[in-house]
């Protein structure tokens, strides 16, 4: 992960883009790139989307990478350790969705019985 962070910083700084990459603009950019990812699947059924992803891995991969690059940079500029944040959130989610209550159901944690 550290090598990836360094490479993203280098790419940004070589272009003097740090001035544009504040947290608000990075959050906006994550959403825009996530929308580009969604656009690939727009109007497809679940099955069609699965086939599309399998048959168009490069296009899907590029949009996933766009989201990830902005996400990693947002974590970097806000001083958040992304790996630790993910671990902490998975721990929290595990408490919100105990296996015995959540297994095989898509119910939101607030409505789990
Ligand atoms: Mg894109």
The pTM of the full predicted model, rounded to 2 decimals, is: 0.91
Average pLDDT, the chain: 97
Confidence bin at 59 (pLDDT 50/70/90): very high
Cα of 36 vs centre of ligand 1, distance in Å, is 6
Q: What is the band of 113 on the pLDDT scale with cuts at 50, 70, 90? A: confident
30 CA distance to ligand 1 middle (Å): 9
Q: How remote is the CA of residue 66 from the centroid of ligand 1, in Å?
A: 5
Instruction: Tell how far the Cα of 84 is from the centroid of ligand 1, in angstroms.
Output: 26
pLDDT average, residue stretch 66-74: 98
Q: What is the 3-state secondary structure (H, E, C) of the chain?
A: CHHHHHHHHHHHHHCCCCCCCCHHHHHHHHHHHHHHHHHHHCCCCHHHHHHHHHHCHHHHHHHHHHHHHHHHHHHHHCCCCHHHHHHHHHHHHHHHCCHHHHCCCCCCHHHCC
State the pLDDT at residue 11.
98
For residue 45, how far is its CA from the centre of ligand 1 (angstroms)? 22
Give the model's confidence band at 20: pLDDT under 50 very low, under 70 low, under 90 confident, else very high. Answer: very high
- pLDDT at residue 36, as a whole number: 98
- Give the mean model confidence (pLDDT) for residues 84-91: 98
Ligand 1 centre from 85 Cα, in Å?
24
Ligand 1 mean position, distance from CA 63 (Å): 5
> What is the mean predicted confidence (pLDDT) over 93-111?
92
């Amino acid at each position: 992960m550290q090598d990836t962070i360094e490479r993203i910083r280098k790419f940004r700084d070589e272009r003097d883009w740090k001035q544009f990459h504040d947290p608000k603009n990075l959050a906006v950019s994550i959403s825009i790139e996530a929308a580009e990812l969604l656009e690939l699947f727009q109007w497809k059924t679940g099955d069609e989307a699965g086939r599309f992803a399998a048959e168009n891995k490069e296009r899907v991969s590029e949009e996933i990478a766009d989201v990830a690059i902005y996400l990693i940079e947002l974590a970097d500029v806000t001083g958040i350790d992304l790996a630790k944040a993910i671990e902490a959130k998975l721990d929290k989610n595990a408490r919100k969705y105990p296996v015995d209550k959540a297994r095989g159901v898509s119910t939101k944690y607030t409505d789990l019985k």
